[in-house]
Amino acid sequence: MDMVSRMPGPAQPGEPEVGRPRRLRIRLLGGFRVEREGHLPVAGNWRRSSARTLVKLLAVAPGNRLHRDQALEAIWPDAPREAGLRNLHVTLHSARHALEPELPPRIPSAYLHSDGELLSLDPVSTVVDADEATRAAGLALDTGDRTALTAALELLSGELLPEDRYATWADERRRQWVALRARVVPALARVLVTAAEPDLAVEVLRAELDRVPAAEELHLLLARVLVDAGRPRQAVRQYHVARDVLAEELGIPPAPELQALLREALDLLAAPPTAPADSTATLLPSAIRRPHDQPLIGRARPLALLVEHATAGTGAATEPGGVPLALVTGEAGIGKTRLVAEAARQAASAGAQVLWGTSHPAEGQTPYGVFAEALDGYLATCPATERAVVTAEHPGLAAVLTTLGDAPDNAASPEEEQARFFRAVAALLTDLAAVRPLLIVLDDLHAADPASLRLLHHLLRTTRSRRWRFVATLRDDELPGCDPRRLVLDTTVEQGLAVEVALLRLSLADCARLTGVAPQRARRIYELSRGNPLFALELVTAGDVRGVPDGVRRLVRGRLTRLSDEARAVLGALAVGGGGAVSLGELEAVALAGLYPSLGGPAVAAALDTAVAAGLVVEREVTTGGRPVLGYAFRHPLVELACAERLGAASRRHLHRTYADTMLVRRPDAVEAVAFHLGRADDPRAVHWLRRAAERAASLFANDSACAYYMDLVARLDAAADSSAASAARLDWGIVLRRSARYQEGEQVLRAALRTYQESTDARSTVRVAIVLAEVLGRLSRPQDGLAELDAVRHRLAEVPGGGTATERVDLELTAGTMHFGCGQYAEALTALARAEQAAVGLDEAAILPRLTRVESIRAGCLMLTGELQRASDACAEALRLAERCDDLPLLAGALSTMGELARIDGRLDVARDCARRAVTAARRMGDPAVLAIDQSNLAVIELHLGEHRRAHALARSAVRLARSLGHSWALPPTLANLTEILLRTGRTDEARVALATCQRAARDSGDTQVLDGIRALTDELAAADAATAGPAAG
């Protein structure tokens, strides 16, 4: 039996012919793998990583052939040639036996050959999947066959060696791979269009643009497909997507072909509306649907300006452009809303679509509240089918807009959610403006939350070529100069994105025309009202004006005395829920449960009718549960305030509590409004809801709103002597302050928490606060103070059972490494990072990945600054790999920034610019202005080296302005140093000298050793430039 079993027999199916080696398949797509035909063994764990790298090098080389010097340079770049050749000999031996474990000694390999100085893979017995895919794609492009192109695209979808994503030896093959895919995708799309399947072509192109968003030729092809398919509105939207991406990623405008396609799409949309002329009234928001019963006096010039602004672009031949925002300013009662309402009505009559949103300060800092009201008000009037389309096309809106239903669960970071919401709002407005020019009115912008102002600024920056116009009303005396919202508005004016229309008080003649009374009485009214239209009309209504009234509040109180007790009680309840319109249902519930004696529905309705007839309140639609319902609002906030002041403190608190209870039943998702009312009621539940409101604002990256809620929360917890909860809230507050670059405030808040924890037995929390405080001190250019804080609490870990958790030990050492790095103590930083790495052993993946990413990123920075560039590059590549695995945006931005700097030092400027641009994009999404300033400044230096002097200068100036706005922070010295270098290199020596002096002061104040070293070099270079200039002059 043994003899028979060993006799040669016929070859079995799938086996190779006698004498031919088993075929070796090398897979590069999706990760490196090696397989042999017939399931013969191949080394699973390579004994030498250099052997695996050598096989990869041959697999990506043209023709799978490589000169041995190329292998030496790629694998052992710093080794002497003799040592490298010895390493190569050993590596070849190891690689051959890994591919053929059964290979006898001194027998040539069937797969891996060396011929003199050339290394190669056997062309017959070795197959590389990337080569097969390349050949298949080439054949598909030659034949134009749809099935072949589809199969080729599937093959090309795999990533080439993802584990070596940043290895330079694979760059050329990876570029060829990307270029081949860039040919296959449009070819397949054109074939699909020819086959009358434009939807599939659009799907293919959009999927590819998700991978390469800055591919302008794909944007152009997609827009062309959409226009030809009869979808010009989507083509317009695609143009704006392309324009934004090209501006952000490459700093260039769309090509003329894409701009021509935009004009073609707009021409298709420019057909005049066929609706009857009187149908424009249905397009108006409820706030301005009915014409005002008072004439508009003394406002002819500002009205003409606003109508011209609002109707720009309504004609078919009118090109979009101009200043996108008209900011109507003036004191309370001056007639801003009245004027804008008339301008909006005239714009609607000219064919514009009008959206109207009002800020409601009484409901607290609701994130994006003014935009939510404008968009919700529009969507509430749309059919359910249209709302479903909006939900599907713009899923990022559902997190804020109640009319679109429940927001989808999303694990994205607050930065990504903010960017997603911004893009969704811009896309929806683009869609609306594609049908007809769009006017968005933002009433009482001074009461809007800071997040709304940031969204407005984003939309204004992207409005230049769109048919949008904004008009906003603002009481400029209610925004102090230090308010961040004031800074945003001032910036928009300085950047030419807004024009201010200031409303002045009426003249005596206009006041007389407005009041329509005898000249002597008109003069007296003018003297008392000082030309304020609201005050003047209230004085006319008051009758006797011979005495000097205390003001409008007294006049309002006089009006109220003529109403019934029930009407005054209902107005008091409405005033407590004020700041905007209150739905009739909520007001009835509050009147029933919160007034004494209680009032039922009929009594409330009668009281409101009386108030409407008296001109104190107006009917106004509000959106509740995604549908428009009847609501009521005061005509003017001063009237509302006067009504609220008539209530005693106990009555106001009781009504606020009733409002909160009503909302908890009817609108439990109105977190901010519930927190506001419970806070005003001084209800113990306010603590829970303030915390929820703060956490929600932070999750939406509305940092200013979150800080306001945390401030109120901490004050209440301090008053309740709940030191533990107050310290925990301070820690969360400090984290938000750090994230928004408000470092000085963050230090104060965190030190207060640290003092409380140091006096307690809570060692774990003491360490956590100290770590965050150290990070804030590092950002304040005080890393030595940060180290002192860490050293002061290091012993507290011993008080925790087991010496603290691994997570706490890792965080402590990691932060210490960061502080040492900031001090220029690179050896100490590397030692601390090694301790952090050792402590991380045993952590689960979710905990270890972000921490190891930080370890490798900081290690790369230390090694780069100590001249160990190869080790720095390896550490940075590992940091990038880990950051992508844990999908952490701040960590990815840091690793990209370091990788870009390494590429710049190495002379790979295109790679450096790509990394720097990606870092800037990530920093913008993060919302950390300090990181953005640093990354933008680094990009400016790279642009300088690429010869883009104008772009470099603009980027550097912008980075310095941003860093200055943060006060004393770590970002200012390096941005000033980079600006000095750029000015010096471009021959602006006088400006460079001024910038250098400023940089020296900032660096001395911060103790930034890295910048101080750079300053010395710049000083010498500036002196040499001065000497060179003086030499010829002296001659």
Q: Encode pLDDT of 907-929 as tens digits.
A: 888 888 888 888 888 777 766 78
pLDDT at 835 over 90: yes
How far is the CA of 95 from the CAs of 89, 221, 976, in angstroms?
A: 10, 46, 51
pLDDT at 642 over 80: no
Kindly state whether residue 121 falls inside one of the protein's structural domains: yes
pLDDT range class, residue 1004, cuts 50, 70, 90: confident
Q: What is the pTM of this model?
A: 0.62
3-state secondary structure 453-468: HHHHHHHHHCCCCCCE
Given 504, 520, 540, which residue is the final one in a domain? Answer: 504
Calculate mean pLDDT across residues 581-586.
Answer: 92
Same domain? 782 vs 866: yes
Calculate mean pLDDT across residues 941-969.
Answer: 86
- pLDDT attached to residue 315: 45
pLDDT range class, residue 485, cuts 50, 70, 90: confident
Same domain? 526 vs 490: no
Same domain? 444 vs 485: yes
pLDDT range class, residue 954, cuts 50, 70, 90: confident
- pLDDT attached to residue 659: 94
Residues near 169 by Cβ (< 8 Å), separated by ≥ 6? 57, 60, 74
pLDDT at 661 over 90: yes
Kindly state whether residue 11 falls inside one of the protein's structural domains: no
Q: Helix (H, G, I), strand (E, B), or coil: what is residue 816?
A: helix
CA–CA separation, 503 and 507 (whole Å): 12
Question: At 907, which helix (H) or strand (E)?
Answer: none
CA-angle at 333, arms to 331 and 336, nearest 5°: 75
Same domain? 846 vs 960: no
Residues near 301 by Cβ (< 8 Å), separated by ≥ 6? none
pLDDT range class, residue 847, cuts 50, 70, 90: confident
Instruction: Write the pLDDT tens digit of every residue in 986-997.
Output: 888 888 888 888
Same domain? 566 vs 638: yes
Kindly state whether residue 335 falls inside one of the protein's structural domains: yes
Which candidate, 437, 441, 966, places its Cα nearest to that of 738?
A: 966
Same domain? 335 vs 293: yes
CA–CA separation, 828 and 862 (whole Å): 10
Same domain? 333 vs 419: yes
List the CATH number of the domain containing 1026: 1.25.40.10
- pLDDT attached to residue 106: 79
Instruction: Write the pLDDT tens digit of every residue in 405-434.
Output: 665 655 566 777 788 888 889 888 888 887
Same domain? 513 vs 496: no
Same domain? 399 vs 536: no
- pLDDT attached to residue 1031: 58
3-state secondary structure 6-27: HCCCCCCCCCCCCCCCCCEEEE
Same domain? 532 vs 587: no
The total domain count for the chain is 6
pLDDT range class, residue 1001, cuts 50, 70, 90: confident
Given 526, 549, 572, which residue is the final one in a domain? Answer: 549
pLDDT at 931 over 70: yes
CA–CA separation, 68 and 998 (whole Å): 52
Kindly state whether residue 580 falls inside one of the protein's structural domains: yes
- pLDDT attached to residue 691: 95
Which candidate, 325, 283, 289, 306, places its Cα nearest to that of 435?
A: 283
Q: Is 595 left (phi over 0), alpha (psi -120 to 50) or beta?
A: beta
> The domain containing residue 880 runs over which residues?
680-892
Average pLDDT, rounded, for the chain = 83
Kindly state whether residue 266 falls inside one of the protein's structural domains: no
List the CATH number of the domain containing 569: 1.10.10.10
Kindly state whether residue 244 falls inside one of the protein's structural domains: no
- pLDDT attached to residue 13: 41
Ramachandran angles phi, psi of 325, nearest 5°:
-125, 130
Kindly state whether residue 541 falls inside one of the protein's structural domains: yes
Neighbours of 267 (CB within 10 A): 11
CA–CA separation, 823 and 614 (whole Å): 70
Given 846, 868, 892, which residue is the final one in a domain? Answer: 892
| Structure token digits, residue 524 | 């007296």
pLDDT at 449 over 80: yes
CA–CA separation, 536 and 552 (whole Å): 9
pLDDT at 326 over 80: yes
Same domain? 481 vs 611: no
Instruction: Write the pLDDT tens digit of every residue in 191-245.
Output: 999 888 888 898 899 888 888 888 889 999 999 998 888 878 788 878 878 887 7
pLDDT at 773 over 90: yes
Concatenated DSSP letters for 413-442? -HHHHHHHHHHHHHHHHHHHHHHS-EEEEE
pLDDT at 8 over 50: no
Same domain? 712 vs 756: yes
Instruction: Write the pLDDT tens digit of every residue in 280-316.
Output: 334 577 767 777 767 788 888 999 999 999 887 554 3
Sheet holding 33-36, edge to edge: 33-36, 24-27, 126-128
User: Which of 276-280, 293-297, 376-380, 567-571 is predicted least confidently?
Assistant: 276-280
Kindly state whether residue 447 falls inside one of the protein's structural domains: yes
CA–CA separation, 97 and 17 (whole Å): 23
